[in-house]
Structure 1
Amino acid sequence: MEPVQLLRAARVITPDRELADGWVAVRGDRIVEVGQGSAPQDADVTYAVLVPGLVDIHNHGGGGAAFTDGSEAALRARDAHLGRGTTTLVASLVTDSVEVLLEQVRALTPLVHSGDLAGIHLEGPWLAPRWRGAHPSGLLADPDAADVAALADAAGDALVMVTLAPERPGALEAIGLLTGRGVRVAVGHTDATYDQTRAAIGAGASMATHLYNAARPHHHREPGPSVALLEDPRVFIESIVDGVHLHPAVVRATAEAAGRRWVLVTDAMAAALMGDGSYELGTVGVEVVQGVARLSEDGALAGSTLSLDRAVRTAVGCGVPLLEAVHAATAAPAAAMGWGDVGRLEPGCRADLVALDDDLGVRAVVRHGRWVIR
């Protein structure tokens, strides 16, 4: 039997509660005990703050690599974010032709089966041209049932989420097809009305892709998609909290309104954890200036250069309590995907942990019980 490792911290965030002078005992790849005060053995190491491994369910790349560029690039991107505490990561693909998306899905699926990635997210091509963001307009399309089925078949259980615009013809049927296979459907990049969004939720949509961003804005006589998504207790709410996509007041209000359904995501692209310069997001060019990624052609925001640990710090800087910010980066995204053994520091859960200093900077990372950074 493998020996027990014991990690202690002045603050252990589980994340449902905070334990002062807490500790976590790990054997192999599982957590075996969590407590505070006296422990069954001396600690192997002591930190300021200990939280669950971060869970990012919307991420296009990082470290100069993108998930659209094959398995080697995917592992480089995964490793870049792993070094910043993201121990569970979903690879997001941007709009392209169905033929190209099929190739990309087939390249990533083995990495999901091996446990290197947690799943695949298709963001497009079934999006609204008016709110396309960084997605090429010429490749956007209505969700044809044959195309949806072909992509779902190619990925199998590796496909965990699809973002679409529910007002497009065939969208409600696509939602039914996908959710019937266990795929989460997110509403995003959409010009849907309030009623169209409610219909999508009724059909099974359970996620909001980066709420407010790239969507019809709400009006007091036509609330639009964001109000419909935020008010429904069945829907988890994504936010990109990087100091650019959302005003701090919006961050606070969204966190309060969504509560346990609030999910921090990065929407990171290849430039994440890199410097300024020229990059690509799918088929489009991106310029990064002072850490902000924008399309070369029109200056629209093109994902982010965010890491999830920075999203937590930024949320706290906006006035969100640390316990809520950590929950939004761990337990909430895990719950949104139906994953019961990640995102929490509880006996039986996977031994994914991140140690932070007093300024919430990453000091150590444990994934599957193995030290990534120490």
Structure 2
Amino acid sequence: MLTLTGNILTPDGWQHGQLSFDSRVVGIIGAPLDPASNADDILLPGFIDLHVHGGGGRDVMEGADALDVITRTHARHGTTSLLATTMTAPKREIEHALNGVQRAIAQRTAGGSRVLGVHLEGPYINPGKLGAQPNFARDGILSEISGFNELAPLKVLTLAPEVQGHMELISDLVLRGIRVQLGHTLGSYEDGVEALKHGATSFTHLFNAMTGLHHREPGMVGAALAHAEYAELIPDLLHVHPGAIKAALRAIPKLYCVTDSTAAAGMPDGNYKLGRHTVTKCMGGVRLPDGTLAGSTLTLDEALRNLVGLGLDLDDAARRLSTYQAEMLGLSDRGQLKVGAHADIVVFDRNLKLKAVYVEGELIPGEQQ
């Protein structure tokens, strides 16, 4: 059994004391104390990223051993579990990726994040709002989605609700335990509200690749701000202006953060694969040749620092990197430091430099060591 000492963020607030664990949290002994009152380490729940395309030079669509590299890359930055996220592509290519993801789900890579399942981002999106998605958008068919789900468990599926047949499809997917997110959409405010009524749960990379807010046409962004409990957002300060992030934080109770990371995450500037696209990392971003933003290079330890830099309290920022994601997926044993939960732990110093990462009790080697 291992023991860590410091300022521990628990479901009941901060505790200053000791956390003991093996593969799960065994005990927490401490007393309430504001972490700002001392210089001890800060212990947070391991981060959960529900939108990961790649990292370390590898892309989820490659399948096979790409997930080994991707999960190790993100684990070194505090992501203890994630959803492997696909790109819009022909059926055969998606199936290839899912076969690789299933192998990663069945056996967690030593030194890597736990793969919880799949985020199917497309192909059931609006071809008029592809963003950086390849042009293989098509209408959703339940039988095809069921086939994908048999290859690897679909935990989240992004679709455009205004596409013919998709509103009814949302209800069918929800009955099968798949969380539906609205994204890559030209849908109206009314489409967004109706989709939520049909059971849609969240919004994919809020503000990006969806109809924006206008005071006479509120758009999909307006539906999210007015009605959503959950939405994901990329807090790299490039995809979304800080002012828009603050507006979303005030409006959406459980706004949570994702990286939408590509193969370029954790890598030097250069060219990388994103599905069928070649993207270029430079000046802190990833873009297609025409300048379109194409995912990010963000890691969740950087996201924590960005959120705190925007003025969020540390405990609030931490919940938006772990707890709300777990709640959205219906997981009670991740996203919180409590007895019985998986020992997914990130340790920071008071300057928010990452010092250590534990995935299910395993100390992850990496640059933070």
**Which TM-score band applies after superposition, normalised by the shorter structure?**
over 0.9
Question: Per-residue CA shift, 1:146-190, capped at 9, x if unaligned?
Answer: 3223222332xx211100000011212321222111111100111
- Write out aligned runs for 1:118-157 (5 A): 118-137=116-135, 139-155=136-152
- Partner of residue 197, structure 1: 192
8 Å CA contact 2:65, 2:100 repeated in 1: no
Pick the aligned partner of 1:281 from 265, 274, 285: 274
SS of 1:324's equivalent? helix
Q: Does the 8 Å CA contact 2:11/2:338 hold for their aligned counterparts?
A: no
Cross-structure match for 1:29: 23
Confirm or deny that 1:347 pairs with 2:344: no
Confirm whether residue 92 of structure 1 aligns to residue 85 of structure 2: yes
Query: Which runs of structure 2 are paired with 1:27-66 in the superposition (5 Å)?
Result: 28-37=22-31, 47-66=40-59
* Equivalent-residue separation in structure 2 for 1:14 and 1:302 (angstroms): 36
User: How does the TM-score come out when normalised to structure 2?
Assistant: 0.92
Task: For residue 224 of structure 2, give the secondary structure of its aligned residue in structure 1.
Answer: helix
> 1:362, CA displacement in angstroms?
1.0
The alignment partner of 1:118 has SS state of strand
Match of 2:96 in 1: 103
Give the superposition deviation at 1:266.
0.3
Q: Which residue of 2 aligns with 1:290?
A: 283
Q: What's the TM-score once normalised by structure 1's chain length? A: 0.91
Show structure 1 runs of 4+ deviating over 3 A.
none
Q: Does 1:331 align with 2:323?
A: yes
Shift of 1:358: 1.8
> Do 1:230 and 1:237's aligned partners in 2 also have CA atoms closer than 8 Å?
no
Give the aligned CA root-mean-square deviation in angstroms.
1.7
Partner of 2:243: 249
SS of 2:252's equivalent in the other structure is helix
| Superposed counterparts of 1:198-217, under 5 Å | 198-217=193-212
The answer to which of 141-150 and 215-224 deviates more is 141-150
Structure 1 pair 265–360 and aligned structure 2 pair: CA distance change class (3 A) = same
Q: Which runs of 5+ in 2 are unaligned?
A: 33-38, 109-113
The 3-state SS of whatever aligns with 1:310 is helix
Report the CA distance between 1:294 and its aligned residue. Answer: 0.5
The answer to whether 1:312 aligns with 2:309 is: no
Shift of 1:16: 5.4
| Aligned equivalents of 2:138, 2:76: Cα separation in 1 | 37
Partner of 1:17: 13
Separation of aligned partners in 2, 1:294 and 1:13? 37
For 1:124, the aligned partner's letter is: G
Alpha-carbon distance in structure 2 between the residues aligned to 1:16 and 1:251: 26
% identical aligned pairs? 36
Counterpart check, 1:69 vs 2:36: no
Instruction: Show CA shifts across 1:4-26 (max 9, x none).
Output: 322111x222265222x332121
Q: Deviations over 1:37-82 (max 9, x none)?
A: 59xxxxxxx9521101111111111111111112211110100000
